[in-house]
Amino acid sequence: MSVLDELRETFRQEAIELLNELAKILEGLRNRNADASALVAARRVAHNLKGAAITVGAQRIAGPCHALEDEFEIAAKTKEVPTADQVESWLFLVTELQAATDDPNIVAICFSEAPASKSQVGIPASVSPTAPMSKAASPAECPQQADIKSASTAGTATGTTAAVPVGAQSTPTIRVETRRLDEMMAHVREVAQIQVLLASQARALQESCDEVSVASTGESATNDRSLELRAAVRQMYQDTQEFGHLVDVLSISINRVRLTPLSSMSPLWLRAVREAANRLGRPAQLEIEVGEAEVDIHLSELIKDPLLHILRNAVAHGIEPAEVRQGLGKPQVGRIRIEARADGSFVELRISDDGKGIDPKRIAQKAVERGWITMATADSMSDAERRALVFLPGFSTADVVTTIAGRGMGLHSVQRNLEELGGSVSVSAEADLGGTTFRLRIPASVLGVKGLLVRSGDVVYALPLYDVAQVAAVALSDLEQSEGQPIYRDAAGRPIRVRSLDELLGRPSGTAMAQLFLVVLRRTGQDLALIVDSVIGEREFVIRPMPWNLATIPGINGALILPDGTVALSLDSTVLLAAAQRRRVHTSRTSAQQGAARRKILVVDDSLAVRTLESQTLGAAGYDVTVCVDGMEAWQLLQKREFDLLISDVQMPNLDGFELTARIRASEPLQHLPVILVTSLSSPNEVARGAQVGADSYITKGDLDQEKLLLAVRRLID
């Protein structure tokens, strides 16, 4: 089925729904179950159908809808219940339209240029029961049929779409609620789980048989039985493998059913660009080159708004006004292009324009002015990192709009929405049309993803493959140092900060090895090299939800079940990158301010004993320690902005540790300050609250010893 056929079919389904709704309203009027106000609803439905028909170029359906809309509007103004004859005539027309939309061939011939007048509408010439639509619309009698056959295709914001394969064969279809598909998939998962267990048991049985065979007595009968048993077990093992293959095929088939072509969203995109162009007086033309790329039906709904947002932004802030473009020697009509290509289990969308583009240096300058980064950090950033700043929350302001083309307006929410889907958005370094290019990566399916399995400590983790840029084995001595942090240089010589996965997750880190395995994550212009113990390999798996009570553990976004039945944890690379970035920003700030000075730590606790223990421990380790006795005093001391770390009690007079941490996170100059909470409270709710207000680490006093305290401190600031 061609893209155009898909479009027509999408429209046909929508038309069927709207006509059903309209028929229901009119039936209510006919049966006197509705009053004149129902005409307003009828007008809205007719208007919607007309709009959809115009959008896809089905002018011959748009005409009658327009006539119906007029009639409903006039009747509604009288505020009188329409006469029975009126209602009958409307219902007649609606019925004719329903008959037309039931037949894909008749719908097809409705795609043509708009007739000059109502009388030229192939389907009823007027809103009259004496002009049967199906007869007028039949292919044999349609006066414009020959022209329609030879019409050409166009697909721009300006508009018309034609090309009608009259008599094209249509594949019978049914509409299925996605809920039912989800149920089917849930059953398939259960079957897959059983298959994994069966395969595991069959393998164990085969091994046992082999051992028995080795230990056999040598008697002929026993040997025969042993051979039979081994053959049966081998066959069972093969069957379980075949069973697994069939489960995979079934899973893929169900996934395919959920896929819908991206091209079905074209009318929406065209309309968004057309409306924005008309409203702002910036002529723009949308080119759509999405081919046959498909995404999950659920995802197509979720990405709709982010895509429309970027398209409107392209018109509003990318494309210059016509007179400016003329002065720049550009064509008066701006170009916006959507391209799509399948990339493994992902679809990559590129949205480009030929407008003024984004200047990375000006973005970084804005971030410095706002105090988000230091000048030194800005200078050390790559252009990709600078461009990524447009996705920071609150980056967009009126000033930004006028000075850097307004990029950033709402982009944070676009990024957040896509990341929640497992996708990403970035500003591409190469502008395809000379202006700006946004690159969106969207998982084609919500059900299965490809990932890289790694082991760190006693846990297997899965990292989304689309975020893994490189896997490397390096010697510890090959890492460089920058601002006290280890740096890895990739093949292109780019410096990438290195962090231990365990440390980022707040788990005790193993002993440093001479040989390290690094997994380089790359997302939205940020890089991070994670140290792991080993790399297991690529796998395709289904992400399962974490237990209900652990659904919001930072950095963990799900779980998967390994073939041996154990659980691996799926990592949220966005959170890992953000955590590493936050520490980097803070480290760079303090380094810039203090050079090589000793790290300064503020300790606040209303217990003399705890204060003494902590300050002596930290002082002996070479830190410059300041102590105070309550949260309010700590808050005042922090205003000097000279501390690298805060170690705080939770229960304190005046201002408790939770509130103090929350204040710090809400304070622009202090928001990146690492905070360790030391408390006797260890209930889950207290721990959760600590995480919620933004504490980096939580040490219970019962467990407090010098080694643990220093380990936590070093993890955060050394």
Partner 1 sequence: MSDVDDHMRQILAERARVLARRGQLSTREKVGEPVAVMLIGGEQMGIMVSYLQTIVRIPKVTPVPRLPPWMPGVIQIRGTVVCLVDLASWLGLTQSDEARYLAIIGRENQLLGVRVAGVAGVREIFADELVVRQAIQRDASELPVRFTTRDLLTVLDIERLFALVDLRGKSEPISRTCPGPMSVT
Handedness of CA 650, 656, 659, 662 (dihedral sign): negative
- Rounded to 5°, the CA angle 409-411-412 comes to 115
Binding-site member from 39, 308, 427, 505 for partner 1 (CB under 8 A): 505
To partner 1, the closest distance from the beta carbon of 142 in angstroms equals 57
Half-sphere exposure of 588 (CA within 13 A, CB side): 18
Number of Cβ atoms within 10 Å of the Cβ of 250 = 16
Half-sphere exposure of 545 (CA within 13 A, CB side): 7
Stretch of residues binding partner 1 (CB under 8 A), selected from 174-182, 424-432, 481-489, 501-509: 501-509
Phi, psi of 151 (to 5 degrees): -65, 155
Using alpha carbons, list the distances in angstroms from residue 211 to 224, 226, 487, 660: 15, 11, 51, 64
Nearest by Cα to 43 from 74, 81, 11, 79: 74
Binding-site member from 365, 403, 667, 671 for partner 1 (CB under 8 A): 671
To partner 1, the closest distance from the beta carbon of 303 in angstroms equals 20
Using alpha carbons, list the distances in angstroms from residue 87 to 12, 72, 342: 24, 10, 50
Binding-site member from 504, 601, 625, 646 for partner 1 (CB under 8 A): 504
Q: Of the two residues 114 and 302, which places its CB atom closer to partner 1 in the complex?
A: 302
- Token pair for residue 220? 């002929």
Q: Which one-letter DSSP state was computed for residue 408?
A: T
Q: Of the two residues 72 and 372, which places its CB atom closer to partner 1 in the complex?
A: 372
Q: Of the two residues 96 and 385, which places its CB atom closer to partner 1 in the complex?
A: 385
To partner 1, the closest distance from the beta carbon of 524 in angstroms equals 16
Query: Does residue 460 sit in helix, strand or coil?
Result: strand
Q: Of the two residues 107 and 519, which places its CB atom closer to partner 1 in the complex?
A: 519
**666 near partner 1, rule: CB under 8 A:** no
- Token pair for residue 284? 């723009």
Q: Of the two residues 489 and 665, which places its CB atom closer to partner 1 in the complex?
A: 665
Stretch of residues binding partner 1 (CB under 8 A), selected from 1-9, 134-142, 177-185, 695-703: 695-703
To partner 1, the closest distance from the beta carbon of 76 in angstroms equals 45
Q: Of the two residues 193 and 206, which places its CB atom closer to partner 1 in the complex?
A: 193
Region 546-605 residues binding partner 1, contact defined as CB under 8 A? 546-557, 559, 561, 564-569, 572, 575, 578-579, 582-583
455 vs 501: CA distance, rounded Å: 10
Q: Of the two residues 567 and 620, which places its CB atom closer to partner 1 in the complex?
A: 567
**526 near partner 1, rule: CB under 8 A:** no
Give the contacts of 144 (CB within 8 A, at least 6 positions apart): 109, 112, 122
The conformational region for residue 677 under phi > 0 = left, psi -120 to 50 = alpha, else beta, is beta
Binding-site member from 386, 599, 611, 689 for partner 1 (CB under 8 A): 689
664 vs 221: CA distance, rounded Å: 80
Half-sphere exposure of 200 (CA within 13 A, CB side): 11
The residue whose two tokens read 């990438």 is 496
**395 near partner 1, rule: CB under 8 A:** no
Contact letters (x/-) for partner 1, 69-108, by CB under 8 A?
Answer: ----------------------------------------
Binding-site member from 288, 674, 713, 717 for partner 1 (CB under 8 A): 674
Q: CA-CA-CA-CA torsion for 408, 413, 417, 423, nearest 10 degrees?
A: 20
Region 325-354 residues binding partner 1, contact defined as CB under 8 A? none
328 vs 699: CA distance, rounded Å: 62
Q: Of the two residues 401 and 553, which places its CB atom closer to partner 1 in the complex?
A: 553
Q: How far is Cα of residue 55 from the mean position of the Cα atoms in its chain?
A: 27
Q: Of the two residues 92 and 698, which places its CB atom closer to partner 1 in the complex?
A: 698
**545 near partner 1, rule: CB under 8 A:** yes
Q: Of the two residues 167 and 565, which places its CB atom closer to partner 1 in the complex?
A: 565
Query: Does residue 483 sit in helix, strand or coil?
Result: coil
| CB burial of residue 462 (10 Å; 0-12, 13-18, 19+) | buried
To partner 1, the closest distance from the beta carbon of 507 in angstroms equals 5
Binding-site member from 166, 368, 431, 460 for partner 1 (CB under 8 A): 460
Binding-site member from 494, 507, 600, 663 for partner 1 (CB under 8 A): 507
Region 248-287 residues binding partner 1, contact defined as CB under 8 A? none
To partner 1, the closest distance from the beta carbon of 553 in angstroms equals 6
Binding-site member from 665, 667, 710, 718 for partner 1 (CB under 8 A): 665
124 vs 101: CA distance, rounded Å: 14
To partner 1, the closest distance from the beta carbon of 702 in angstroms equals 10
Stretch of residues binding partner 1 (CB under 8 A), selected from 17-25, 233-241, 377-385, 453-461: 453-461
Q: Which one-letter DSSP state was computed for residue 434?
A: S
Binding-site member from 35, 190, 219, 289 for partner 1 (CB under 8 A): 190
Total number of residues that touch partner 1 (CB under 8 A): 66
To partner 1, the closest distance from the beta carbon of 546 in angstroms equals 6
Name the helix (H) or strand (E) containing 112.
none
Q: Of the two residues 302 and 460, which places its CB atom closer to partner 1 in the complex?
A: 460
Q: Of the two residues 18 and 576, which places its CB atom closer to partner 1 in the complex?
A: 576
- Token pair for residue 109? 């011939």
**244 near partner 1, rule: CB under 8 A:** no
Nearest by Cα to 678 from 706, 654, 641, 643: 706
To partner 1, the closest distance from the beta carbon of 497 in angstroms equals 14
Q: Of the two residues 165 and 506, which places its CB atom closer to partner 1 in the complex?
A: 506
The answer to whether 409 and 314 have CB atoms below 8 angstroms apart is no
147 vs 150: CA distance, rounded Å: 5
- Token pair for residue 257? 């059913």
Binding-site member from 90, 395, 623, 698 for partner 1 (CB under 8 A): 698
Residues for the chain: how many in total?
A: 718
599 vs 643: CA distance, rounded Å: 8
Stretch of residues binding partner 1 (CB under 8 A), selected from 122-130, 476-484, 600-608, 698-706: 698-706
- Token pair for residue 128? 């009259």
- Rounded to 5°, the CA angle 290-295-297 comes to 125
To partner 1, the closest distance from the beta carbon of 496 in angstroms equals 19
To partner 1, the closest distance from the beta carbon of 326 in angstroms equals 46
**371 near partner 1, rule: CB under 8 A:** no
To partner 1, the closest distance from the beta carbon of 18 in angstroms equals 37
- Rounded to 5°, the CA angle 171-175-178 comes to 130
Binding site for partner 1 (CB under 8 A): 189-190, 193, 457-460, 504-507, 544-557, 559, 561, 564-569, 572, 575, 578-579, 582-583, 665, 671-672, 674, 682-685, 687-700, 703, 708, 711-712, 715
